[in-house]
Amino acid sequence: MTIVVAFLAILIGVVAWWLSTQRIMSKPWLEIGVIDEPPGVRPPPAKIGLGVFLAVAGVLFALSISAYSMRLQAADWWPLPVPRLLWFNTGLLILASAALEWSKVQSRHADLDGVRFGLIAAGVFTLAFVIGQLMVWRELVGEGYFLASNPANAFFYLMTGLHVLHVLGGLVALARVTSRAFRTDEARGDKVSGERGKLRLGVELCAIYWHFLLVVWLVLFALIAGWAGDFFEICRQALS
């Protein structure tokens, strides 16, 4: 459980830093009158909401990694082979993330075609990633690595499954943003700026979510491939 506590410590650090900017030392019983917030743009609620959601999803993954690391120490742990396809899938997810980042940059430059292209490319790469993960599962099952035959297998399927579910959820949001991108027309009066703003925000949120999923995947991949085992060993020796 050290890992999840460490993750929470980071979150608590962020919250503490944020609270320290909120005048928590003030004495409200002495202050009369309107206190305006420091000038600056409030980030849109959806962005804050996504940030909070990522913290929740982060805890979810940190917990499964914690459980994984606790279980890893037992003697009956037979690690799975790492299918080559996983490398390819990792590449696909990186490409999807990059496409969304590109789309985000284009949305700032008001290049609608670029935005649309980036969104579609990201969608295609991500779908390919999901299919690739399913193929990895089939390959492993074909070689006899069933879900229930060893704890290592169970954790592999559980963690990759949780990750794919989060990717699928992201795809729903991505589909909505993409359809908005195709509905937004360039020359249609004063409503355009509002629509544009919404689109830009949607693309940005998708990009943030995809980068998060990519980081989670890289961590999970490192665990599955067994590189993290040495790291855990070092940590354990340092702590004991």
Partner 1 sequence: MVDVPLGVAGVPLAEVEDVELYHPKSWLTHYVFSQDAKIIAVQYSVTALSIGLVALMLSWLMRLQLAFPGALSFIDADAYYQLITMHGMMMVVYVLTALFLGGFGNYLIPLMLGARDMVFPYANMLSFWFYLLAVVVLFASFAVPGGPTGAGWTLYPPQSITAGTPGLAWGIVMMLVSLMIFIIGFTMGGLNYVVTVLQGRTRGMTLMRMPLTVWGIFTASVMALLAFPALFVGAVMMLFDRLLGTSFFMPEIIEQGARLPYGGGSPILFQHLFWFFGHPEVYIVALPAFGIVSDLISVHARRNIFGYRMMVWAIVAIGALSFVVWAHHMYVSGMNPYFGFFFATTTLIIAIPTAIKVYNWVLTLWRGDIHLTTPMLFALAFIVTFVNGGLTGLFLGNVVVDVPLSDTMFVVAHFHMVMGVAPILVIFGAIYHWYPKVTGRLLSVPLGQFHFWVTFLGAYLIFFPMHYLGLMGVPRRYYEMGETAIYPPSAHDLNIFITVMALLVGAAQLAFVFNLIWSLRHGRPAGGNPWRACSLEWQTSATPPPHGNFGKELPVVYRWAYDYNVPGAPEDFIPQNQPPLAGEIASRAP
Q: What is the phi/psi pair of residue 84, to 5°?
A: -55, -35
Select from 50-58, 128-136, 208-216, 229-237 the region that touches partner 1 (CB under 8 A). Answer: 50-58
User: CB of 49: closest distance to partner 1 in angstroms?
Assistant: 5
Query: Given the complex with partner 1, which of 1 and 110 has the nearer CB atom?
Result: 1
Q: Which is nearer to partner 1, 8 or 95 (CB)?
A: 8
CB nearer partner 1, residue 55 or residue 192:
55
158/164 with CB nearer partner 1: 158
Closer of 142 and 194 to partner 1 (Cβ): 194
Q: Please tell me whether residue 112 binds partner 1 under the rule CB under 8 A.
A: no
Scanning 29-37, 108-116, 212-220, 227-235 for contacts with partner 1 by CB under 8 A, the matching segment is 29-37
> CB 202: neighbour CB atoms within 10 A?
21
**Nearest in space to 79 (alpha carbons), one of 219, 233, 215, 228:** 228
Member of 154, 192, 201, 235 binding partner 1 (CB under 8 A): 154
Q: Does 95 bind partner 1 (CB under 8 A)?
A: no
Contact between 68 and 223 (Cβ < 8 Å):
yes
Q: Is 34 helix (H, G, I), strand (E, B) or coil?
A: coil
- The owner of tokens 């890992």 is 3
- DSSP single-letter state for residue 31: -
Instruction: Write down the least CB distance from residue 98 to partner 1, Å.
Output: 28
Residue 42 or 183: the one with the smaller Cβ distance to partner 1 is 42
| 144 is a contact residue toward partner 1 (CB under 8 A) | no
Sequence-distant (≥ 6) Cβ neighbours of residue 192 within 8 angstroms: 184, 185, 186
Choice from 2, 6, 20, 53 touching partner 1 (CB under 8 A) = 53
Please tell me whether residue 214 binds partner 1 under the rule CB under 8 A. Answer: no
Buried b (16+ CB within 10 A) or exposed e, 49-88: ebeeebbebbeebbebbbbbbeebeeeeeeebeebeebee
Tokens linked to 163: 């990750």
Using CB under 8 A, which of 2, 14, 20, 23 touches partner 1?
A: 23
The smaller minimum CB distance to partner 1, of residues 7 and 129, is found at 7
Helices (H), the chain: 2-20, 45-72, 85-108, 112-142, 151-183, 191-225, 227-239
Residue at token pair 């670029």: 114
Q: Which two tokens stand for residue 184?
A: 């937004």
Contact positions toward partner 1, by CB under 8 A? Answer: 1, 4-5, 8, 11-12, 15, 19, 22-37, 42, 45-46, 48-49, 52-53, 55-57, 59-60, 63-64, 67, 70-71, 74, 76, 147-148, 150-151, 154, 158, 162
